[in-house]
Amino acid sequence: MTPFFADIDRAPARTRAPLPVTEYPLLLASGDAMYDYHVQVLHDAADVLKGLLEIGINLSALSDRRKMLEMILLEARKLARAEAGSLYVLRKGRLRFVAAQNDRLPQGEISQVFLDKEIPVTTDSLAGFVASTVQVVNIPDADNLAEDWPFRINRDFDATSGYHTQSILAIPLRRPDESCVGVLELLNRLDDEGRVVAFPSAEGSGILSLASMAAVTISNALLQEDLKTAHLDTIIRLSVVVEHRDNATSQHVRRISQTAKLIAEAMGLDDRQVELIERAAPMHDVGKVGIPDAILHKPGPLTAEERGIVEQHALIGADILGQPANDLIAMAHDIAVSHHERWDGRGYPYGLAGQEIPLSGRIVGLADVLDALLLERCYKAAYSEETTLEIIRSESGKQFDPSVVDAFFRVMDRILEPYSSEAPAPAIAAESAT
């Protein structure tokens, strides 16, 4: 017999109670019992393989990255009978917490402590050691580590939450080329009586197969993320070109994109809508390609005739992005034509009001005004942060959708971060938010 049989009884979802491994030598004397044992082992193995197949099918059907990572961790915990666990993804030399679960603690408390936090890939921490060495680490009792262990167990979370970590199984997520893409940590294996016990060897339990599956899934997700990042960068660069502007415009469209994304998230839009708004927002002023540079760069106020010409950029943008072939261009079209409309109906080009204005246009409209107010332009000095926020608050229900304004203020600190490095001119009195 191989060690596989010694570990297979650890798999979940039994149809019959597993035979204790300690009884295995006694079964050699009984042919019938030995036959029953082999049948059970085969049934157990079939359960594990069936479970892994179902997990693979479910993962392939998921487009939501966060749900995919949560599923990987949950299924690994089921296989290992782990009370808690964490999942890290390795990016640019750092490990990022992307999923954390604990059956004894509220999920909100865990998410607040762990999610999206990063640690360096060094041998000082358990996860860093596993990522660095690409080795499985099985710790039966974290309270009694030998003095020569090459890493320390972080007890900060246990101290603040009251949770006690005892047994740990940490597994590197290996790509087919054996490089590491992340780390899976499983905490506190429970026996049938709910007592914390040591994890068995990961070999043969299905956990390593799941880890390999997870590594491939995460690698594919990271590749898609890189492609999306490259796509967004291309959109931004093209938006700069069509606006005939300098590098300042590059930062402008990046800020609009990020602000719109954060507001959309705060409003509870689904991941797909948030992503579309983030990628469509940089194209909001694409119609300025049809506006003369002399007007776009004119210092000081515009004449009524010049303002009329500038306002044509919304219609020009709608025409450029007309007859969209996909959801991204369709949203870019809606944003281009509607981001200068006002909630009270006094905007342009069509004078739409309230819910008539596409939500994406309402969101980008606020983001665009924020950027215009906070930064110096050829025709105006910068407004102070205090004055800018006063304007946005006062224009709720007038220029801006009140629900968009509320969402903005919920994530205001994150939105204003990119502006902290700017050096605005002294504050000036606010005349208009347009």
Confidence of residue 45 (pLDDT cuts 50, 70, 90): very low
Joined tokens for residue 70:
């949560």
Label residue 10 by pLDDT band (50, 70, 90): very low
Q: What is the pLDDT, as a whole number, of residue 176?
A: 74
CA torsion through residues 283, 287, 289, 291, sign: negative
- Rounded to an integer, the average pLDDT of 33-51 is 44
The pLDDT mean for the chain works out to 75
Structure tokens at 231: 């796509």
Model's pTM, two decimal places? 0.52
Position 222 scores a pLDDT of 64
Predicted pLDDT at 247? 42
Predicted pLDDT at 293: 77
Cβ(405)–Cβ(388) below 8 Å: no
Distance (Å, whole) CA 54 – CA 204: 18
- Residue pair 261/278 in contact (Cβ under 8 Å)? The answer is yes
- Residue 236: per-residue pLDDT: 58
The 10s digit of each residue's pLDDT in 89-115 is 888 788 888 888 888 877 666 666 666
**Residue 7's pLDDT is what?**
35
Q: What is the pLDDT of residue 427?
A: 42
**Residue predicted with more confidence, 379 or 326:** 326
Q: Which residue would you say has higher pLDDT here, 321 or 16?
A: 321
Cα torsion 26, 11, 203, 5 to 10°: value is: 20
pLDDT of 349 strictly over 90: yes
Cβ neighbors of 47 (< 8 A, separation 6 or more) are 11, 12, 13, 14, 15
360-392: string of b/e by CB count within 10 Å (b at 16+)? bbbbbbbbbbbbbbbbeeeebebbbbebbbebb
The alpha carbon of residue 164 and the mean position of all alpha carbons in its chain are separated, in whole angstroms, by: 28
Q: In this predicted model, what pLDDT tens digit does every residue of 224-238 receive, in sequence order?
A: 665 566 555 556 555
Residue 432 main-chain phi, psi, to 5 deg: -160, 155
Residue 427: C-alpha distances to residues 65, 383, 387, 420 (Å): 43, 5, 8, 15
Q: What is the pLDDT of residue 379?
A: 67
**In the structure encoding, which two tokens stand for residue 26, read together?**
């006694």
Question: Which residues, in sequence order, are bridge partners of residue 189?
Answer: 82, 197
Tens digits of residue pLDDT in 137-165: 888 988 887 777 766 777 777 777 778 88
Nearest to 259 by CA among 270, 274, 240, 241: 274
The closest of 285, 262, 292 to 414, measured between CA atoms, is: 262
Which domains are assigned to the chain? 3-219 (3.30.450.40), 243-419 (1.10.3210.10)
